[in-house]
Amino acid sequence: MNTVLITGCSTGFGRDTALHFLNQGWNVVATMRDPAASTLPASDRLRILPLDVTDMSSIAAAVAEAGPVDVLVNNAGVGWLNAVEGTPLETVRAIFETNLFGAIAMMQAVLPGMRARRTGVIVNVSSSSLYKPLPLLSVYRASKAAMNALTESAAHELAPFGIRVRIVMPGMAPSTSFGETARGQVMKDGGFPAAYADYAQQTLAALMEAANGPVTVGQDVADAVYRAATDPECPAVLPAGADAVAWARDA
C-alpha cells in the first residue's frame, strides 16, 4: 500500500488532501506543527506527526518516523499581503524559509530513499497568483515563483531515477483561513505603509469582489494533488479550482 507524506495538514488544503488520500485507501502521514490541532478522523492508515519545515531536526525526526515515502506533498506555506516597501526584511526571510527553503529541505530529506527505490513523486503546492502580477502579493509571489522554477528544473534532474515532480496551482480559496491569517500578520507587523493606504484599500476591495465569482475549494486542490501523485501523464503544472483553470487558460 502506498504512503504519502503531506506537510501543513492542520487545516485547509493540507487537511483536505490528507482526507482524500485516506479515502482512496492510502497510508497517510499527515504532518503539522501542533498535532493536537488535528481534526482528521482516526484511521489505522493515518499517522499524525509533528513537523516544522523550518527546523532541520524536526524534518529529520518526522521523515525517520514516517519510513519509506512514495509521495511527498509540500503543502505547508505562509501567506503575506503587503507592498514590497511595507514588508520587513525579516518577514521576507520568514516567508521564504517556509514557502521555499522548507520545501527544498523536505525534498532533500526524502530523495535518498526515492532514488534508492528508483520511484517516487513530489508534488509542490504553489499558487495561481503566478498567472497574474497581482499587487500586494509581491513577496509571496516571489517565494512561489522560486519554488516553481526549482520544481521545473528538479523534474529533469530526477527523471533518470524514476522520480516525478509536479506543481499544483490553487486559486483563491476564501473558505480557508489562509488569507485571513495573512491579513492578521500584516496588521500585527504594522499594517500597510501610509503612502499605500488608499491603494491597499482599493486592492483589498477588488480581491473581495473577486471572491464572489469562481473560486477554489479544498476538494479542488485535493483532486489535483492526487492526480499529480498518481497519473504519470499529468501535466507538469496543474491548476486547481475554477478560477485557477480560467487564469491558466488566459495566461
Rounded CA-CA distance 8/207 in Å is: 25
- Has 131 been annotated as catalytic? no
Given a contact cutoff of 8 angstroms between Cβ atoms, the answer to whether 109 and 63 are in contact is yes
Could you say which of 131, 140, 196, 226 is catalytic? 140
| Single-letter code of the amino acid located at 133 | P
Q: How far is CA 234 from CA 8, 185, 220, in A?
A: 23, 36, 15
Rounded CA-CA distance 33/36 in Å is: 9
Rounded CA-CA distance 104/124 in Å is: 10
- Give the catalytic positions in this structure: 140
